[in-house]
Structure 1
């Protein structure tokens, strides 16, 4: 059972499809048979090969298709002539000569198409490389911006940490001063109360006769 590939068609796949299909046309076979043979060789379905041929590859091989059809007609004609002709050797010589000429034409065509495929691949690769380079530059700029932002945030965090530490130190100082002030005020209040109590107590003195006399 032929495996079904899901990847894109490569230039080599297209070339195999063209070579096999042209050979089947030239030999008087059907395109369906060609697609089945190609499918077995490149692990694709015959339907996928047929769709690829009709939608893309066929357009690039119009001239080769016409040559293959002409060769098919010549082969058919020569087969008929060989049946009726008395000189089968001569007919076979003509057929072989035509076959060699056709193969030479197809070989030249395939060579040109292979070069075109390489050129297309290189152009595609160049475009892809340029796009990747642009994305890499964009990522590098983004990374640089992120690094600068990180440095700024670290500096801001350090500044805020210093401010928090300073505020905590000021708070502890003020709190200590406040406690000290409360203690001073409390001692002053107690001294004031004691002084008032001392002033409120009656005082006496003894006169010459030995009697106590209250001092106002």
Structure 2
């Protein structure tokens, strides 16, 4: 019996939920089937997976969901076209001998096409395929352009970060120099103050001298 997890969702769990759900959308399956598959893979209930998808993960993949829905519509259209075209194409005889693959000549192939395969259906299929290819090419170019812009922004930010780091280092160096100069100035001022106090004390002490009769006289 598989233990149902009760811990918090990790980024890997969210990524698995997004990938599986988008795949089911593209293939025309239901989201409930996707939630059940995810639940089996990460040991959670389908209800928990559905709640996580609707409350958090789906909001991060709105653009991818729209692309998946478009791909689902195109897949459905191609299936319909193939359903009409493939059975008719199978009427064209192709058989294999022991030495080589033998195919009908152009005349018999044209006759078979006239009998079964609709040229208009083939043309429509090829045109739709061309449109799909062009859409995918535009999407690829858009993503390449967006990636290039992101790389340029990242490069600019990296250069700006290096510049700011150099400025911070210079400011720290200047601060250290100023701080050392300030400490030196404080020491000089303290020494000067002490010398001034000593000089004043020496001037305030009375001085005496002895006269010719041996008496002390105060000197002004």
Task: Give the TM-score normalised by the residue count of structure 2.
Answer: 0.50
Structure 1 residue 133, shift from structure 2 partner: 0.9
Partner residue, 1:10: 80
Partner residue, 2:154: 150
Structure 2: gaps spanning 5 or more residues: 1-27, 30-74, 89-110
Deviations 1:11-37 (CA, angstroms, capped at 9, x unpaired): 34236899xxxxxxxxxxxxxxxxxxx
Alignment of 1:70-149 (within 5 A): 108-111=114-117, 113=118, 115-149=119-153
Partner residue, 2:170: 166
Partner residue, 1:177: 181
Partner residue, 2:191: 187
Structure 1 residue 117, shift from structure 2 partner: 2.6
Structure 1: gaps spanning 5 or more residues: 19-104
**Number of equivalences:** 124
Runs of 4+ aligned residues of structure 1 deviating over 3 Å after TM superposition are: 14-18, 105-109
Structure 1 residue 106, shift from structure 2 partner: 10
In structure 2, how many angstroms separate the alpha carbons of the residues matched to 1:156 and 1:198?
A: 63
Partner residue, 1:41: none
Structure 1 residue 10, shift from structure 2 partner: 2.8
Q: Which has the higher contact order (CA 8 A, sep 6+)?
A: 1
Partner residue, 1:200: 204
| Coordinate RMSD, CA, aligned | 2.7
Partner residue, 1:210: 214
Structure with the higher helix share, 1 or 2: 1
Task: Give the TM-score normalised by the residue count of structure 1.
Answer: 0.51
Q: 1:203 to 1:124 in 2, by over 3 A?
A: same
Q: Who wins on radius of gyration, i.e. which is larger? A: 1
Partner residue, 1:32: none
Alignment of 1:14-93 (within 5 A): 14=84
In structure 2, how many angstroms separate the alpha carbons of the residues matched to 1:200 and 1:179?
A: 32
Q: 1:106 to 1:142 in 2, by over 3 A?
A: closer
Q: 1:164 is paired with a residue of what secondary structure?
A: helix
